[in-house]
Amino acid sequence: MRIPLELQTLLEDGIIDQVLRQLKSGKEASVYVVRCGAEVRCAKVYKDMAQRSFQQRAQYQEGRKVRGSRQARAMARSTRYGRKEQEAAWKNTEVDVLYRLVAAGVRVPQPFGFFSGVLLMELISDGQGNSAPRLGEVALSPQQAIDVHLFLIGQVVRMLCSGLIHGDLSEFNVLVDAQGPVIIDFPQAVNAAGNNNALAMLERDVGNITETLGHFAPELLATRYAAEMWELFGKGELTPETRLSGIVVEDEIAPDVGEVVHAIDDAREEAVRRQLGREAAQAG
């Protein structure tokens, strides 16, 4: 196994003691199992911007807070300095989000810091020191699928209550260990309030999870949790304790009662007018 430069730096600095194995080499990051003293942990090494498609990330960057207006202007202009700032913002997002979500009571890997491009975090394990299976890799009974769905919707609500949307939630970014599901992979997380694509991302996140679990419990496919939580969030009424129904009453399904009464009145008037017309014709 080739140990990347970033992990060699962490070894030299004594932040990690051993690189045990590689879990995954992806487009945007490589993930390793490492040892820190007696603890086995997970290290995510981010790739540099040149190796990623940055254009497609533009929608995610919207609304992300940067430290000052100088940085914001530089990022907008995409000067070399701006690109460096973008790079740093991208790499820092995941660790920031993990700390925020732990504080908000969302079950995510416990972060242990971010060091020269490497995120150190809790290894979500299968009990044998390997990575726990992904949601898409576990078989569930219909009742288990309903329970997992309820739990994950609750996690999405908690995230939204702390102002965040995952933005890439799917069966690939949920691990399942002995205690249940753990959401991972947050570099693209967005601020719910400052992003025009927020609702679309929330709908997609919830839709992906619902579709996966709908294979085991098809009744889940009719639920509409994203729209329901978004409406409450917009009114400032969403809390982690909010009990959602999964049902959204659409305008087409529940027509305006006043409109219907008018339509009936119009029809009645029209009938009366026609009747009067007929009577007048007969009299004449």
Ligand X SMILES: Nc1ncnc2c1ncn2[C@@H]1O[C@H](COP(=O)(O)OP(=O)(O)OP(=O)(O)O)[C@@H](O)[C@H]1O
Question: Site residues (CB under 5 A) for Mg ion?
Answer: 173, 185
Select the span of 26-34, 145-153, 195-203, 236-244 touching ligand X (CB under 6 A): 26-34
Cα(83)–Cα(89) distance, integer angstroms: 10
Partner from ligand X, Mg ion, none binding residue 29, C-beta < 5-8 Å depending on class = ligand X
Nearer to ligand X, 32 or 225 (CB): 32
Single out the residue of 13, 18, 24, 261 in contact with ligand X (rule: CB under 6 A): 24
Long-range CB contacts (within 8 A, 24+) of 78-87: 83/49, 86/49, 86/54, 86/61, 87/48, 87/49
> Considering only CA atoms, which of 241, 220, 246 is closest in space to residue 231?
246
Partner from Mg ion, ligand X, none binding residue 26, C-beta < 5-8 Å depending on class = ligand X
Cα(234)–Cα(113) distance, integer angstroms: 33
Smallest distance, Å, CB 148 to Mg ion?
18
Single out the residue of 10, 16, 19, 29 in contact with ligand X (rule: CB under 6 A): 29
Nearer to ligand X, 119 or 156 (CB): 119
Strand pairing partners for 118? 45, 115
Strand pairing partners for 18? 35
Nearer to Mg ion, 185 or 228 (CB): 185
Cα(229)–Cα(219) distance, integer angstroms: 19
Binding site for ligand X (CB under 6 A): 23-24, 26-29, 31, 42, 44, 109, 121-124, 131, 134, 172-173, 175, 184-185
